[in-house]
Amino acid sequence: MYDTLEFAAIINPPQSGILAVGAAKDQVVVVDGEMRVAKVMRVTLSADHRAVDGALAAQWLAAFVKRIENPVTSLI
């Protein structure tokens, strides 16, 4: 909404984690050795380590990225 590329969200009790989603922008990426333009979106996961183990939060974020990059996998 505000064209912000990325930011870190602040956790307020009783939240244990919050996902910050930045704007999707055109960016040059390398695919199969060729430069192409693609939409790139940055996400940041803030987690309260008293409630959620950091490794578990990283695994959740990796799973989220896989689903966003391949939305068809959500149908299976």
pLDDT at 53: 92
pLDDT digits (tens, 9 = 90+) for 6-65: 888 999 989 999 999 999 999 999 999 999 999 999 999 999 999 999 999 999 999 999
Q: How many Cβ atoms sit within 10 Å of the Cβ of residue 47? A: 20
Give the pLDDT of residue 20: 93
| pLDDT at position 73 | 81
Active site residues: 49
The pLDDT, as a whole number, for residue 74 is 79
Could you give the C-alpha distances from 40 to 8, 22, 28, 58, 75, in angstroms and in order? 17, 9, 9, 20, 23
